[in-house]
Amino acid sequence: MGDKMKEKIAKLDKVSIGLIFGIILPILGFFGSYFVKGGNVTFDEYVSLATNMNADQQDILIFCLIPNMFMFYLSNFRWQLNEFTKGLVGVTIVALIALILMTQL
């Protein structure tokens, strides 16, 4: 990777930017999951599947976190953005706790 690219990526090494990415990526993952797993249901029905207790809820919500896992790999192992990774992991842990509470209660 070139020096200019490393400099640009190093500017992203802030906890706040990791938090922002950690919030936005699951939202994008939800929209992506609709196109992959939605089948022949409308978007409103898909949102209802994700928010109401049913067999598909956990699959949909876990699929939303896949972009965070991919970004974790890049930010931690490839780019060594430690502060960014802290923010990303913090949001992901909170999201996982919320997911567990939603699916178990």
* DSSP state string for 5-70: HHHHHHTT--HHHHHHHHHHHHHHHHHHHHHHH-TTS-HHHHHHHHHSSSTTHHHHHHHHTHHHHH
Average pLDDT over residues 36-65: 90
For the chain, the domain total comes to 1
Could you tell me the two tokens for 57? 């809820």
Query: What's the pLDDT at 66?
Result: 95
Average pLDDT over residues 87-102: 92
> 16-43 burial, b for 16+ CB within 10 Å, e for fewer?
ebbbebbeebbeebbeebbeeeeeeeee
Percent of the chain with pLDDT over 90: 70
Prediction pTM value? 0.89
Host domain of residue 13: 3-104
On the question of pLDDT at 99 being above 90, the answer is: no
What value does the mean pLDDT of the chain take?
A: 92
Percent of the chain with pLDDT over 70: 98
Query: What's the pLDDT at 39?
Result: 84
On the question of pLDDT at 105 being above 80, the answer is: no
